[in-house]
């Protein structure tokens, strides 16, 4: 157990639907990062939150949004789902987002299948 | 495009042999990290090397960093079947950017 909790582990839904993925960071970590992993694109950074505020955006589609709540858990909302959104979605947390880096702790991911 | 790219894409060795994976990147960095991912699971942080360091060790892992060549290598000595996994390097973009971007990984298979 890495200390980062992601739910659900698996999600199967139809095209056009909306889903919410949840992440609880490791205790003491203020930063949450969302990544998408697919076979053709590899591991793509989506968005970063630090202590409730959005800090950086990556290759996140407009159909996707995220937020971090006061208790530091984060949710990634995916809407108008397309077949190509099928992927593993990972959340990672870290204590310090500065350039010094302390490594990131990843959750076990949510496998999203859009049918 | 990926900041870091691993090479080779796949590596197959026998238990007890050493495994070497390489990572090349494009822009200057603050640090470089290596992660392991077992099939369908989350990534596990292995080691972080800062831009002012040249070599780090952790157990059977040895990481080197050559900033002049913009490359890093991960050596796993005396490999075990349990080392079978994908290995990723992650680099930030240097300067004020700290978001780690990942390569596509090296798939390592260690045969018992």
Is the pLDDT at B96 greater than 80? The verdict is no
> Which of B30, B42, B49, B105 to mutate to test binding with chain A, by most A CBs within 10 Å of its CB?
B42
State residue B1's pLDDT score: 46
When comparing pLDDT for A71 and A39, which is higher?
A: A71
Residue A104, judged by CB atoms within 10 A of its CB (0-12, 13-18, 19+), counts as buried
pLDDT in tens, B13-46: 999 999 999 999 988 888 899 999 998 889 999 9
Provide the pLDDT for residue B73. Answer: 98
**What is chain B's mean pLDDT, rounded?**
91
- The rounded mean pLDDT for chain A is 92
Can you tell me which residue has the tokens 């070497």?
B20
Exposed (0-12), middle (13-18) or buried (19+): which is B64, by Cβ within 10 Å?
middle
Q: What residues of A are in contact with residue B92 (Cβ under 8 Å)? A: 99, 101
Helix (H, G, I), strand (E, B) or coil at B42: coil
Length reported for chain A: 115
Q: Pick from A43, A45, A103: which is nearest to B33 by CB?
A: A103
DSSP, residue by residue, chain A: --S-EEE-SEEEE-TT--EEEEEEPPTT--EEEEEEEETTTEEEEEEEEETTEEEEE-S--TTEEEEE-TTS-EEEEE-S--GGG-EEEEEEEES--STT----EE---EEEEE-
Chain A residues with CB-CB distance to B28 below 8 A = none
Q: Do B42 and A48 touch (CB under 8 A)?
A: no
Mean pLDDT of A38-65: 91
Give the pLDDT confidence score for residue A98 in this predicted structure: 60
Query: Which chain B residues touch A90 with a CB distance below 8 Å?
Result: 42-43
| CA A23-A29-A31 angle, 5° bins | 70
Yes or no, beta carbons of A43 and B33 under 8 Å apart: no
Asked if A108 and B101 come within 8 Å (Cβ–Cβ), the reply is no
Residue B35 · residue B46 · CB < 8 Å: yes
């Amino acid at each position: 157990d890495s200390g980062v909790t992601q739910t659900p582990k698996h999600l199967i839904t139809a095209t056009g639907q909306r889903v919410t993925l949840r992440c609880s960071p490791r205790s003491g970590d203020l930063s949450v990062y969302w990544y998408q992993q697919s076979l053709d694109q590899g591991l793509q950074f989506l968005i970063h939150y630090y202590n409730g505020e959005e800090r950086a955006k990556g290759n996140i589609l407009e159909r996707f949004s995220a937020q971090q709540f006061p208790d530091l858990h984060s949710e990634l909302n995916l809407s108008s789902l397309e077949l190509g959104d099928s992927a593993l979605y990972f959340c990672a947390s870290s204590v310090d987002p500065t350039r010094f880096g302390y490594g990131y702790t990843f959750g076990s991911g949510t496998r999203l299948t859009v049918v | 495009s990926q900041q870091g790219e691993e090479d080779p894409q796949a590596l197959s060795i026998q238990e007890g042999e050493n495994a070497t994976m390489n990572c090349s990147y494009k822009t200057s960095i603050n640090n470089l990290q290596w992660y392991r991912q077992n099939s369908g699971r989350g990534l596990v942080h292995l080691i972080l090397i800062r831009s002012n360091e040249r070599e780090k060790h952790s157990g059977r892992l040895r990481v080197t960093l050559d900033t002049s060549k913009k490359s890093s290598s991960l050596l796993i000595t005396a490999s075990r079947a349990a080392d079978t996994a994908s290995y990723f390097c992650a680099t930030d973009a240097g300067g004020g950017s700290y978001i780690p971007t990942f390569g596509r990984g090296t798939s390592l298979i260690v045969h018992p």
